Amino acid sequence: MTVLSRPADSGPVLRAGEVAFIRDGRHLLSDISLTVHPGEHWALLGANGAGKSTLLALLGAVNHPSRGVVEVLGRTLGRVDVRELRSYLGHVNPRHAPDGPMRVRDVVLTGLTNTAALVPRWQPAREEAARADQLLAMLGMGDKAESRWPTLSQGERGRTLIARALMPRPRLLLLDEPATGLDLAAREQLLASIDALRARHASLATVLVTHHLEELPATTTHAMLLRDGRCLASGPVADVLTSELVSACFDHPVRLVRSDDGRWAARAARVPVAMPGEPVPAA
Protein backbone atom coordinates (compact mmCIF):
# COMPACT_ATOMS: atom_id res chain seq x y z
CA MET A 1 0.00 0.00 0.00
CA THR A 2 1.11 3.55 -0.75
CA VAL A 3 1.72 5.87 2.19
CA LEU A 4 -0.29 9.05 1.71
CA SER A 5 0.98 12.55 1.68
CA ARG A 6 -1.77 15.14 2.06
CA PRO A 7 -3.78 15.13 -1.20
CA ALA A 8 -3.22 18.09 -3.48
CA ASP A 9 -5.93 20.74 -3.57
CA SER A 10 -6.64 20.29 -7.28
CA GLY A 11 -8.57 17.97 -9.59
CA PRO A 12 -11.81 16.12 -8.83
CA VAL A 13 -12.36 15.15 -5.21
CA LEU A 14 -14.30 12.05 -6.27
CA ARG A 15 -14.51 9.91 -9.36
CA ALA A 16 -16.42 6.66 -9.76
CA GLY A 17 -16.19 4.86 -13.09
CA GLU A 18 -18.69 2.11 -14.04
CA VAL A 19 -18.83 0.93 -10.44
CA ALA A 20 -20.66 -2.19 -9.32
CA PHE A 21 -21.08 -3.55 -5.81
CA ILE A 22 -22.18 -7.14 -5.34
CA ARG A 23 -23.00 -8.80 -2.02
CA ASP A 24 -24.19 -12.41 -1.63
CA GLY A 25 -24.72 -12.58 -5.37
CA ARG A 26 -26.98 -9.53 -5.40
CA HIS A 27 -26.11 -6.41 -7.39
CA LEU A 28 -26.60 -3.52 -4.96
CA LEU A 29 -25.01 -1.09 -7.45
CA SER A 30 -24.54 -1.47 -11.20
CA ASP A 31 -22.60 0.73 -13.66
CA ILE A 32 -22.50 3.89 -11.54
CA SER A 33 -20.31 6.76 -12.77
CA LEU A 34 -19.89 10.03 -10.92
CA THR A 35 -17.39 12.91 -10.79
CA VAL A 36 -17.45 15.52 -8.03
CA HIS A 37 -15.36 18.70 -8.30
CA PRO A 38 -14.37 21.16 -5.55
CA GLY A 39 -17.22 23.45 -4.57
CA GLU A 40 -19.93 21.11 -5.89
CA HIS A 41 -22.70 19.96 -3.57
CA TRP A 42 -24.30 16.70 -4.63
CA ALA A 43 -27.47 15.00 -3.42
CA LEU A 44 -27.96 11.25 -3.76
CA LEU A 45 -31.70 10.63 -3.93
CA GLY A 46 -33.79 7.51 -4.19
CA ALA A 47 -36.27 5.30 -2.39
CA ASN A 48 -35.26 3.04 0.48
CA GLY A 49 -32.99 0.29 -0.84
CA ALA A 50 -32.02 2.22 -3.98
CA GLY A 51 -28.29 2.03 -3.14
CA LYS A 52 -27.65 5.53 -1.77
CA SER A 53 -25.83 4.56 1.43
CA THR A 54 -24.01 1.75 -0.39
CA LEU A 55 -22.64 4.27 -2.88
CA LEU A 56 -21.72 6.69 -0.09
CA ALA A 57 -19.74 3.92 1.62
CA LEU A 58 -17.68 3.48 -1.56
CA LEU A 59 -17.13 7.22 -1.93
CA GLY A 60 -16.05 7.37 1.72
CA ALA A 61 -13.50 4.55 1.30
CA VAL A 62 -15.46 2.33 3.69
CA ASN A 63 -16.02 -0.41 1.09
CA HIS A 64 -14.29 -1.37 -2.15
CA PRO A 65 -16.21 -1.78 -5.42
CA SER A 66 -16.73 -5.26 -6.82
CA ARG A 67 -16.08 -3.84 -10.27
CA GLY A 68 -15.03 -0.48 -11.64
CA VAL A 69 -12.79 2.27 -10.25
CA VAL A 70 -13.30 4.65 -7.33
CA GLU A 71 -10.85 7.53 -6.85
CA VAL A 72 -11.07 9.58 -3.66
CA LEU A 73 -8.97 12.76 -3.51
CA GLY A 74 -6.98 11.44 -6.47
CA ARG A 75 -6.21 8.08 -4.82
CA THR A 76 -7.54 4.80 -6.23
CA LEU A 77 -9.20 2.42 -3.82
CA GLY A 78 -7.27 -0.83 -3.70
CA ARG A 79 -3.94 0.97 -4.12
CA VAL A 80 -3.92 3.09 -0.98
CA ASP A 81 -4.18 2.73 2.80
CA VAL A 82 -7.89 3.50 3.23
CA ARG A 83 -7.54 4.15 6.97
CA GLU A 84 -5.18 7.02 6.24
CA LEU A 85 -7.27 8.19 3.30
CA ARG A 86 -10.34 8.44 5.54
CA SER A 87 -8.46 10.88 7.77
CA TYR A 88 -8.74 13.43 4.94
CA LEU A 89 -12.52 12.98 4.62
CA GLY A 90 -15.34 14.36 6.71
CA HIS A 91 -18.04 11.74 7.22
CA VAL A 92 -21.20 12.69 9.10
CA ASN A 93 -23.13 9.67 10.36
CA PRO A 94 -26.09 10.67 12.57
CA ARG A 95 -25.88 7.25 14.23
CA HIS A 96 -22.36 7.94 15.55
CA ALA A 97 -22.21 7.26 19.29
CA PRO A 98 -19.40 8.80 21.39
CA ASP A 99 -17.85 6.56 24.02
CA GLY A 100 -19.50 7.80 27.19
CA PRO A 101 -21.08 11.12 28.28
CA MET A 102 -18.42 13.29 26.66
CA ARG A 103 -18.39 17.06 26.52
CA VAL A 104 -19.44 18.51 23.17
CA ARG A 105 -16.02 20.12 22.60
CA ASP A 106 -14.33 16.74 23.19
CA VAL A 107 -16.68 15.01 20.74
CA VAL A 108 -15.61 17.54 18.12
CA LEU A 109 -11.92 17.01 18.91
CA THR A 110 -12.25 13.26 18.26
CA GLY A 111 -12.57 14.25 14.61
CA LEU A 112 -8.78 14.66 14.65
CA THR A 113 -8.17 11.10 15.86
CA ASN A 114 -11.21 9.48 14.15
CA THR A 115 -12.10 7.70 17.39
CA ALA A 116 -15.22 7.43 19.54
CA ALA A 117 -13.38 8.82 22.58
CA LEU A 118 -10.38 11.01 23.27
CA VAL A 119 -7.14 9.06 22.94
CA PRO A 120 -5.47 8.54 26.35
CA ARG A 121 -2.58 10.95 27.06
CA TRP A 122 -3.36 12.87 23.83
CA GLN A 123 -3.82 16.60 24.11
CA PRO A 124 -4.95 18.88 21.27
CA ALA A 125 -2.71 21.78 20.34
CA ARG A 126 -3.96 25.22 21.33
CA GLU A 127 -4.91 26.02 17.74
CA GLU A 128 -6.80 22.73 17.43
CA ALA A 129 -8.87 23.48 20.54
CA ALA A 130 -9.53 26.96 19.19
CA ARG A 131 -10.67 25.49 15.85
CA ALA A 132 -13.13 23.19 17.65
CA ASP A 133 -14.68 26.22 19.36
CA GLN A 134 -14.76 28.17 16.08
CA LEU A 135 -16.58 25.34 14.30
CA LEU A 136 -19.10 24.98 17.10
CA ALA A 137 -19.76 28.72 16.98
CA MET A 138 -20.19 28.64 13.19
CA LEU A 139 -22.78 25.86 13.54
CA GLY A 140 -24.71 27.63 16.29
CA MET A 141 -23.38 25.40 19.06
CA GLY A 142 -20.94 27.80 20.73
CA ASP A 143 -22.92 27.93 23.98
CA LYS A 144 -23.03 24.11 24.18
CA ALA A 145 -19.27 23.40 24.16
CA GLU A 146 -19.25 22.30 27.82
CA SER A 147 -22.54 20.38 27.62
CA ARG A 148 -22.56 16.60 27.81
CA TRP A 149 -23.55 14.55 24.76
CA PRO A 150 -26.58 12.82 26.40
CA THR A 151 -28.16 16.21 27.16
CA LEU A 152 -28.22 17.31 23.50
CA SER A 153 -31.24 17.19 21.24
CA GLN A 154 -31.02 15.18 18.02
CA GLY A 155 -30.56 18.38 16.03
CA GLU A 156 -27.77 19.60 18.30
CA ARG A 157 -26.05 16.25 17.93
CA GLY A 158 -26.23 16.54 14.16
CA ARG A 159 -24.56 19.94 14.16
CA THR A 160 -21.91 18.70 16.61
CA LEU A 161 -21.09 15.81 14.28
CA ILE A 162 -20.67 18.18 11.35
CA ALA A 163 -18.19 20.19 13.43
CA ARG A 164 -16.41 16.93 14.29
CA ALA A 165 -16.18 15.96 10.61
CA LEU A 166 -14.69 19.36 9.75
CA MET A 167 -11.86 19.21 12.29
CA PRO A 168 -9.27 17.66 9.90
CA ARG A 169 -10.01 20.39 7.29
CA PRO A 170 -11.38 17.95 4.70
CA ARG A 171 -11.85 18.78 1.03
CA LEU A 172 -14.86 16.46 0.99
CA LEU A 173 -17.78 16.17 3.42
CA LEU A 174 -20.13 13.17 3.24
CA LEU A 175 -23.52 13.43 4.96
CA ASP A 176 -25.56 10.25 5.37
CA GLU A 177 -29.20 11.30 5.94
CA PRO A 178 -28.18 14.03 8.41
CA ALA A 179 -31.80 15.09 9.08
CA THR A 180 -32.90 11.62 10.22
CA GLY A 181 -35.13 11.84 13.29
CA LEU A 182 -35.21 15.65 13.42
CA ASP A 183 -38.34 17.66 14.04
CA LEU A 184 -39.20 20.60 11.79
CA ALA A 185 -37.28 23.26 13.75
CA ALA A 186 -34.18 21.09 14.18
CA ARG A 187 -34.18 20.17 10.49
CA GLU A 188 -34.35 23.80 9.42
CA GLN A 189 -31.54 24.76 11.81
CA LEU A 190 -29.39 21.93 10.44
CA LEU A 191 -29.99 22.87 6.80
CA ALA A 192 -29.28 26.52 7.52
CA SER A 193 -26.00 25.46 9.13
CA ILE A 194 -25.06 23.41 6.06
CA ASP A 195 -25.83 26.34 3.76
CA ALA A 196 -23.71 28.66 5.93
CA LEU A 197 -20.87 26.14 5.96
CA ARG A 198 -20.89 25.85 2.17
CA ALA A 199 -20.89 29.63 1.76
CA ARG A 200 -17.94 30.00 4.12
CA HIS A 201 -15.83 27.23 2.55
CA ALA A 202 -16.12 27.77 -1.20
CA SER A 203 -13.83 24.89 -2.23
CA LEU A 204 -15.43 22.28 0.03
CA ALA A 205 -17.32 19.54 -1.87
CA THR A 206 -20.22 17.73 -0.25
CA VAL A 207 -22.31 14.64 -0.98
CA LEU A 208 -25.59 14.32 0.94
CA VAL A 209 -27.82 11.24 1.01
CA THR A 210 -31.57 11.56 1.55
CA HIS A 211 -34.89 10.30 0.24
CA HIS A 212 -36.78 13.50 1.13
CA LEU A 213 -36.50 16.49 -1.19
CA GLU A 214 -37.50 18.74 1.70
CA GLU A 215 -34.17 17.81 3.35
CA LEU A 216 -32.06 19.28 0.54
CA PRO A 217 -30.21 22.50 1.38
CA ALA A 218 -30.82 25.36 -1.04
CA THR A 219 -27.11 25.35 -1.93
CA THR A 220 -27.34 21.90 -3.58
CA THR A 221 -25.76 22.16 -7.04
CA HIS A 222 -25.97 18.61 -8.46
CA ALA A 223 -28.04 15.48 -7.95
CA MET A 224 -28.04 11.80 -8.79
CA LEU A 225 -31.25 9.78 -8.81
CA LEU A 226 -30.81 6.11 -7.94
CA ARG A 227 -33.34 3.35 -8.54
CA ASP A 228 -32.68 -0.34 -7.89
CA GLY A 229 -28.93 0.27 -7.72
CA ARG A 230 -28.72 2.07 -11.05
CA CYS A 231 -28.36 5.72 -11.98
CA LEU A 232 -31.57 7.08 -13.44
CA ALA A 233 -30.24 10.63 -13.92
CA SER A 234 -27.21 12.65 -12.86
CA GLY A 235 -26.07 16.25 -13.30
CA PRO A 236 -26.99 19.83 -12.37
CA VAL A 237 -30.09 20.02 -10.17
CA ALA A 238 -32.05 22.01 -12.74
CA ASP A 239 -31.71 19.09 -15.17
CA VAL A 240 -32.21 16.24 -12.69
CA LEU A 241 -34.78 17.42 -10.15
CA THR A 242 -37.79 17.49 -12.47
CA SER A 243 -41.26 16.14 -11.81
CA GLU A 244 -40.87 13.55 -14.56
CA LEU A 245 -37.52 12.16 -13.41
CA VAL A 246 -38.33 12.16 -9.70
CA SER A 247 -41.66 10.44 -10.41
CA ALA A 248 -39.79 7.72 -12.32
CA CYS A 249 -37.20 7.44 -9.55
CA PHE A 250 -39.78 6.83 -6.81
CA ASP A 251 -42.26 5.03 -9.07
CA HIS A 252 -45.01 7.42 -8.06
CA PRO A 253 -46.40 10.52 -9.81
CA VAL A 254 -45.23 13.68 -8.03
CA ARG A 255 -45.05 17.36 -8.84
CA LEU A 256 -41.90 19.20 -7.81
CA VAL A 257 -42.05 22.74 -6.48
CA ARG A 258 -39.04 24.97 -5.82
CA SER A 259 -39.60 28.00 -3.61
CA ASP A 260 -38.10 31.45 -4.00
CA ASP A 261 -35.45 30.61 -1.39
CA GLY A 262 -34.25 27.62 -3.43
CA ARG A 263 -35.79 24.78 -1.41
CA TRP A 264 -37.64 21.85 -2.97
CA ALA A 265 -40.88 20.11 -2.11
CA ALA A 266 -42.72 17.20 -3.70
CA ARG A 267 -46.48 17.04 -4.03
CA ALA A 268 -48.25 13.82 -4.94
CA ALA A 269 -50.13 14.06 -8.20
CA ARG A 270 -53.87 14.09 -7.68
CA VAL A 271 -55.34 10.61 -8.20
CA PRO A 272 -59.05 10.41 -9.15
CA VAL A 273 -61.06 8.59 -6.47
CA ALA A 274 -64.62 7.30 -6.81
CA MET A 275 -67.02 6.07 -4.14
CA PRO A 276 -68.12 2.43 -4.43
CA GLY A 277 -70.54 2.04 -7.31
CA GLU A 278 -69.65 5.39 -8.89
CA PRO A 279 -67.72 5.80 -12.17
CA VAL A 280 -64.14 6.94 -11.80
CA PRO A 281 -63.97 10.67 -12.64
CA ALA A 282 -61.66 11.81 -15.41
CA ALA A 283 -58.23 12.98 -14.29
Segment 104-111 shows an average pLDDT of: 94
Write out pLDDT tens, residues 39-82: 999 999 999 999 999 999 999 888 899 999 999 998 998 888 87
Give residue 1's pLDDT band: very low, low, confident or very high (50, 70, 90): very low
Tens digits of residue pLDDT in 237-266: 999 999 999 999 999 999 999 998 899 998
Q: Report the share of the chain in percent with pLDDT over 70.
A: 92
Residue 95: which pLDDT band, with cuts at 50, 70 and 90? confident
- Tens of pLDDT, residue by residue over 226-240, are 999 999 999 999 999
pLDDT interval class at 36 (50, 70, 90): very high
Q: Are 218 and 194 in contact (CB under 8 A)?
A: no
Confidence of residue 3 (pLDDT cuts 50, 70, 90): very low
Burial class (CB in 10 A: 0-12, 13-18, 19+), 20: middle
Residue 275's pLDDT is: 63
Q: What pLDDT is attached to residue 282?
A: 59
Q: Assess whether pLDDT exceeds 90 at residue 83.
A: no
Residue 224 has pLDDT above 90, yes or no: yes
Whole-structure pTM over 0.95, yes or no? no
The per-residue pLDDT for 204 is 92
Question: Tens digit of pLDDT for each residue in 6-17?
Answer: 555 568 999 999
Reference 69, options 24, 35, 27, 39; nearest CA is: 35
Closest among 39, 51, 43 to 223, alpha carbons compared:
43
Identify the helix (H) or strand (E) that includes residue 162: helix 154-166
Q: Higher-confidence residue: 195 or 274?
A: 195
Least Cα distance to 188 among 216, 210, 147 occurs for: 216
pLDDT at residue number 10: 66
CA 71 to chain centroid, in Å, comes to 17
Residues 6+ away with beta carbon under 8 Å from 212:
179
Nearest to 70 by CA among 125, 124, 32: 32
Which domains does the chain carry? 11-88+171-186+202-283 (3.40.50.300), 98-169 (no CATH)
Number of other CB atoms surrounding residue 113 within 10 Å: 15
Label the pairing between strands 89-92 and 172-176.
Answer: parallel
Instruction: Identify the three-state secondary structure at position 207.
Output: strand
Among candidate residues 84, 71, 91, the one with its CA nearest the CA of residue 173: 91
* Predicted pLDDT at 114: 82
Which helix (H) or strand (E) segment is 71 a member of?
A: strand 67-72
Give the pLDDT confidence of 269-282 residue by residue, as tens digits.
766 666 666 666 65
